[in-house]
Amino acid sequence: MIDDQPGDPESVHSAAAVPSPARAGDLLATALAAFGLLAELGEMVEDEWTYVTKLVEVGRARLRAAVPDGSRLASPETTAAIHALAAEAGRITDPHRAIDWLSTFPAVAELALVGGGVIAPVRPPAGGA
Amino acid sequence: MRFQDAARDARAIVYAGVQADPLVARLAALAADATYGQRLMARAVMNGESTDRATWGVIFPTVLGPAAPDLERAEALLAASLEVAERGEQVRSQFRGAFVEALSQVLVARRTGAAAVRRERRVLFDGVASEIHPYDLTVETAGREEAWDCKWGARGINADVLNQLDDARRHAAGEERSLRVGLIVFDVRISCAVRLSQQTAPRQGTAVVTLETLDALAGRKATPT
């Protein structure tokens, strides 16, 4: 099962380049948390509430589809990319710019998650279950 | 059906200065031959907060990493996009709009020839009041006329622009002429689809070109979304 529960929002703001690989599911959680913050901002534009709501729905679906197996290990480059992308999204404070980012964010994350590659599935420790 | 230059008001005169800025032409030339990933990077940078190269290099490893294809173009596109991002919000917005228009002109001209492509033109029909807003881009080759409106983001799609494009198409048909009409949106397809799904204005005869299908402007026929 893919771990797509929202990650720690603080990590969205403090994220910097992460040198080591991470589980794809953890990256998805980071991306979804950052996307959630953008959604909260975008929803402040009342005239665009319906558009934003639908954009968030399809954006979350696109992010989840980019990580079909959350247990796999992402490359260090992909890991760093998602953390840096989340940090960049966390810098957005203007609700109107947030709406633009709600459109762009899933595509950028997808490029990193799908194009950046996966090193290998996470395997249980030797002798483990 | 005939085409006519739009009268310039004060706002248009100011905007013409932005359109003529060499940065706009440089961005358009770079983006015209860019990949989808490079164009997506340019969109993110021009809409982002960070203005340092290193941050974007980390966010886009497949575009700006050492093994990325056509890295020279990607770096040049990043540099030009950062120049836009470093401007104030209002100027940045104008540059982005002018960029999409210029990019569209470059791509359409590859298919039709540069002489056929015009900017800021009205389309006039007998017995029909002219629209207030000119079209961003027109192709004025007899028998193959086109009218396009350019948008930085899907959010720019609204009832007014859809109605104007559809009206023009229908009025042309009323004169037994064909006018291809469409929207060129520098945004991803799914966002345009979401936006369009919430519009009640007619759009069946309107082509929608998105970030993923920009190259269709230069050759392959764009299909309505």
Structure-token match 């991470």, residue found: A22
Shared domain check, B213 and B121:
yes
Q: What is the largest CA-CA distance in chain B?
A: 60
Q: Per-residue pLDDT for A101 more than 80?
A: yes
- The answer to whether residue A105 sits within a structural domain is yes
pLDDT of residue B51: 95
Contact B59 A84 (CB under 8 A): yes
- The answer to whether residue B28 sits within a structural domain is yes
- For residue A41, the chain B residues in CB contact (below 8 A) are none
- The answer to whether residue B42 sits within a structural domain is yes
Interchain CB contact of B58 with A (< 8 Å): yes
Q: Name the residue facing A85 among B59, B187, B211 (closest C-beta).
A: B59
| CATH number where B153 lies | 3.40.1350
Q: Work out the minimum CA distance from A129 to partner chain B, whole angstroms.
A: 35
pLDDT of residue B108: 97
Region A75-93 average pLDDT:
96
- The answer to whether residue A9 sits within a structural domain is no
Shared domain check, B35 and B121:
no
Coil, strand or helix at B80: helix
Average pLDDT, chain A: 82
Which residue in chain B is spatially nearest to A51 when comparing CA positions?
B195
pTM: 0.89
> How many angstroms separate the CA atoms of B145 and A112, rounded?
40
Shared domain check, B117 and B165:
yes
Residue A58, domain extent: 22-119
- For residue B41, the chain A residues in CB contact (below 8 A) are 108
pLDDT of residue B131: 73
Interchain CB contact of B204 with A (< 8 Å): no
- The answer to whether residue A2 sits within a structural domain is no
pLDDT band, very low/low/confident/very high, at A44 (cuts 50, 70, 90): very high
pLDDT of residue A15: 43
Shared domain check, B34 and B128:
no
Region A29-40 average pLDDT:
98
What is the bridge-based pairing of β-strands B206-209 and B145-151? unpaired
Shared domain check, B128 and B85:
no
- The answer to whether residue B145 sits within a structural domain is yes
Number of domains in chain A: 1
Compute how many other C-beta atoms are within 10 angstroms of the C-beta atom of residue B219: 9
- The answer to whether residue B103 sits within a structural domain is no
- The answer to whether residue B159 sits within a structural domain is yes
- For residue B61, the chain A residues in CB contact (below 8 A) are 77-78, 80-81, 112, 116
Residue B87, domain extent: 10-94
- For residue A77, the chain B residues in CB contact (below 8 A) are 61, 65
Q: Per-residue pLDDT for A93 more than 90?
A: yes
pLDDT band, very low/low/confident/very high, at A3 (cuts 50, 70, 90): very low
Shared domain check, B153 and B72:
no
pLDDT of residue B73: 98
- The answer to whether residue B104 sits within a structural domain is no
Region A93-121 average pLDDT:
86
How many helices and strands in chain A, by DSSP H and E? 5, 3
Shared domain check, B71 and B32:
yes
Q: Work out the minimum CA distance from B89 to partner chain A, whole angstroms.
A: 10
In the stretch 4-43 of chain A, residues with CB closer than 8 A to chain B read: 17
Interchain CB contact of B60 with A (< 8 Å): yes
Q: Name the residue facing B59 among A62, A91, A108 (closest C-beta).
A: A108
Shared domain check, B197 and B127:
yes
Percent of chain B that is helix, strand, coil (3-state, to 5): 50, 15, 30
- The answer to whether residue B225 sits within a structural domain is no
Q: Name the residue facing A91 among B49, B155, B195 (closest C-beta).
A: B49
- The answer to whether residue B195 sits within a structural domain is yes
In angstroms and rounded to an integer, the radius of gyration of the C-alpha atoms of chain A is 15
Number of domains in chain B: 2
Interchain CB contact of A118 with B (< 8 Å): no
User: What is the full per-residue pLDDT of chain B (225 aa) written as tens digits?
Assistant: 999 888 777 777 878 888 889 999 999 999 999 999 999 999 999 999 999 999 999 999 999 999 999 999 999 999 999 999 999 888 899 999 999 999 999 999 999 999 999 999 999 998 888 777 889 999 999 999 999 999 999 999 999 999 999 999 999 999 999 999 999 999 999 999 999 999 999 999 999 999 999 999 999 544 433
Shared domain check, B15 and B87:
yes
In the stretch 3-32 of chain B, residues with CB closer than 8 A to chain A read: none
Which residue in chain B is spatially nearest to A16 when comparing CA positions?
B55
Q: What is the DSSP string of B113-162?
A: -GGGEEEEEEEEBTTBPPPSSPEEEEE--TT-EEEEEEESSGGG--HHHH
Q: Are B90 and B51 within 8 A, CB to CB?
A: no
Q: Are B31 and B81 within 8 A, CB to CB?
A: no
Which residue in chain B is spatially nearest to A105 when comparing CA positions?
B44
- The answer to whether residue A1 sits within a structural domain is no
- The answer to whether residue A124 sits within a structural domain is no
